[in-house]
A and B are shown apart, each in its own frame.
Chain A
Amino acid sequence: MLSRMQWVWVISWHILLPAFTVGLASYIAVLEGLAFFTKAPIWGRLSTFWTRIFAVSFGMGVVSGIVMPFQMGTNWSRFSDTTANVLAPLLAYEGLTAFFLEASFLGVLLFGRKLVPPWVHFFSGLMVAAGTLFSTFWILSVNSWMQTPAGFHVEHGRFFPDDWWAVIFNPSFPYRYVHNVTAFYITTGFVVLGVGAWLLRRGRSVEEAKLMMRMALNLLIVLVPVQMIVGDLHGTNTGQYQPAKLAAIEGRYGSQTPEPLTLFGIPDDKAGIMRDAVEIPALGSLILTHSLNRGIRGLNSFPKDQRPPVGPPFFAFRIMVGIAVLMLFVAVVGQLLRRGGRLYRSVWFLTLCQCTAPLGFVAVIAGWTTTEVGRQPWTVYGLLRTAKSVTPSLTGADVAISLTLYVLVYLIMYGAGLAFIAGIVRHGVAQADAEPTPTIEGGRSIPPFVAAAGK
């Protein structure tokens, strides 16, 4: 149980960073591309600004990422032993294709603007972005396999791979991948929008702030509706392969046709009923099965030891959807204001944008909770129980000690990180080129390592 808490703690904090860096890396690549092709200096300035923020989050992402694979060994050794044949190569491919790409080219992107030709710098931006997408690809493939395992057989209680294609592109993977990447882009979009709005209200770097807001709004008006459709497809997929999870998300204990949609209620797992439920008749069937005469299997029809707890997925899902609606509102209003030419003057909307900046993160965590808690009590859905995955040699005290330390260190690290990024934002976009000119001596260039330190 404590091992799970530790896992939840480290992974929740870790996922926040990819949620941001994946989107940001692509954004920087676009900015670098624009800088390269149009030669307008404003793109370069924007790129430098965001790259600095990216570097901080990426550094935190690297160190919190190193923690992850070792967690699997320290706390989930039985899981590692049983599933490694199938899952470990995917993780290794993540390392090979993604981390190195990101880490090596980030150095160039950060410190090398003056050391390499412009096209190489642009190329580095592209590679960093590609690295983050590869990384997402592999890690979500692993996670999807745990949700909807495919392409394997079981021997002496361990998994053996049969068909790698089926393992990687397991049934829920395509939906999950698209859903996640879109979510990461949207998260970044809202951060960029919020930062732009903040700068605009303070009257700092006005040109750049306007540009940030315009770009973010254009992205969001497309992606937010797309995300809602993808989410719906993903949900249908879940219903097909993980009916118990869907039932938990919907808070359905009993089965009835047509299914109502529960808007809110207090789930009671012991009694197997939803208390104080607010329901809309028949809407549930319409959304979940896209018809009026089919329903879903209620949780009470599953054996008691195969039911996930309802509370976390039920509430987390509602938080996620609520945020999606709010996001759609912001995106649409933003476009309308822009049409009317009032976007940059509307104080209430700029304030709203500032407030919605962290929403993407909340939605990502909520979505993650939905899918992970919804999978319980399994680590590999229907095959390997969570209770049978943990390391047998660990005592409760061991994990309690390590969990406490992880909590402390992460709080310090994320606190400092946040304060630090806030500091960068407060400075605004540097007007002159912020990167110092490298000293060239004897044909050898010297890296400007502390690009931002002097300011």
Chain B
Amino acid sequence: MWQSLVPIWTVILGLGIFIYVALDGFDLGVGMLHGLLPAADAETAMNSVGPFWDGNETWLILGGVGLLAAFPLAFAIIIPAVYFPIMIMLLALVFRGVAFEFRFKSPRVRRFWDLAFCGGSTVATFAQGLVLGSFIQGFKVQGRVFAGSSFDFATPFSFLTGVALVFGYALLGAGWLVMKTEGSLQAWSRRAGRICLLGVAVCIALVSVWTPLASGAIAHRWFAWPNIAFLAPLPLATLGVGFYAWRALGRDGDLQPFLASVALFALSFLGVAISLWPMIVPGRYTLWQAASPPSTQAFLLVGTLVLLPVVLFYTAWSYWVFRGKVRQGTGYHGA
């Protein structure tokens, strides 16, 4: 029981977090790009994520609560350690979330909520990057509690990952807009996507050099023989997908840029996972040590295995209902 459930939960949790990153990534990305667009296009861009954002953010709750349920010790150490990034992220999400509802319907204060939408999206993304960076670096732990200060998160590395995520989500957002829009907005999104892709590439390269330099264990993981032979395809694939995304953004394909940027995220995600495995509190606790007892994991697993496919199914269904391109001015015709 012990042995068999922990990997399953690791996969489920990893999958959950990845789905969150891919989904909320694009709508946060659209939020950031929103601030750079002329009014009419900004409107269309926002409309393209309107029916999805709250469902997307629900994955964040699931990620948090799933971590709490399957690996409570990790939750109890990690979350306090990133107290301020989490708080800033939550408040930023609050702002951008209500901006959807408020700005849609009240023209008088629209400018304020537009700012809240764009600013909130950017800040939330950056804060998530900070969390990621602090996580990779590891925390000061004593016994079962976090022993550092609430400002430990502020390091050059976590700021780098913050910037990386801003570019990354913006790339996803641009990919989404290429897929869901057309005309000048789509052309603009292609150009924006290329700029973001360059940013992402630089950041990935920096992180890939920095982490092995900073941590001997991570360097050993990647460069020791025979690991290097097994793991070499990953950075090569990342490079390949990067080039593909660049070309797709330049050509006519509508779907490819988004898919390529999602794939880019999947590969980076995998890279981080390989660096840290099998630690969930890096440098301190493994997945097995931080896991909740088998009865807890089993109890939740039964329901999850039934419900998660259902959730995925109707999430997919709601995307299907709202498929197709969003055009400028849609929604005003009949009103």
By a beta-carbon cutoff of 8 Å, the part of chain A in contact with chain B is: 55-56, 58-60, 62-67, 69-70, 72-75, 77-78, 80-81, 84-86, 88-89, 91-97, 99-101, 103-108, 110-112, 115-116, 160-162, 164, 391-395, 398, 401-402, 405-406, 409, 413, 416-417, 420, 423-424, 434-439, 444-455
Contact = CB atoms under 8 A, between A and B. Distances in A.
Interface of B: 43, 47-48, 50-52, 54-55, 57-58, 60-62, 64-66, 68-69, 72-73, 75-81, 83-84, 86-87, 90-91, 93-95, 97-98, 100-102, 104-106, 109, 144-150, 292-293, 295-296, 299-300, 303-304, 307-308, 311, 314-315, 317-318, 321-327, 330-335
Nearest to A433: B334
B76 A80 contact: yes
Interface of A is mostly: helix
A380 to B, nearest CB: 15
A444 B79 contact: no
A145 B311 CA distance: 27
A161 B293 contact: yes
Contacts of B147: 392-393
A103 B58 contact: yes
Contacts of B78: 73
Given A72-B68, A416-B98, A416-B102, A99 B330 contact: no
Contacts of A417: 98, 101-102
A454 B332 contact: yes
Contacts, number: 287
A393 B151 CA distance: 11
Contacts of A95: 58, 61-62, 65-66
B76 A73 contact: yes
B90 A436 contact: no
A99 B61 contact: yes
6 contacts: A73-B86, A84-B68, A97-B303, A106-B54, A436-B333, A452-B105
Given A62-B57, A104-B314, 4 more contacts: A80-B75, A108-B51, A108-B318, A392-B147
B181 to A, nearest CB: 11
A115 B106 CA distance: 25
Nearest to A99: B58
Residue picked from A91, A401, A435, most chain B C-beta under 10 Å: A91
Residue picked from A60, A77, A80, most chain B C-beta under 10 Å: A77
B330 to A, nearest CB: 5
A409 B97 CA distance: 12
A450 B47 contact: yes
Contact of A450 (B97, B104, B144): B104
Contacts of B68: 69, 72-73, 80, 84, 88, 91-92
| 7 closest Cβ pairs, A-B complex | A73-B79, A436-B334, A84-B72, A454-B335, A88-B69, A107-B51, A444-B324
Residue picked from B62, B77, B98, most chain A C-beta under 10 Å: B98
B330 A63 contact: no
B280 to A, nearest CB: 14
Contacts of B98: 59-60, 63, 413, 416-417
Contacts of A115: 321-322
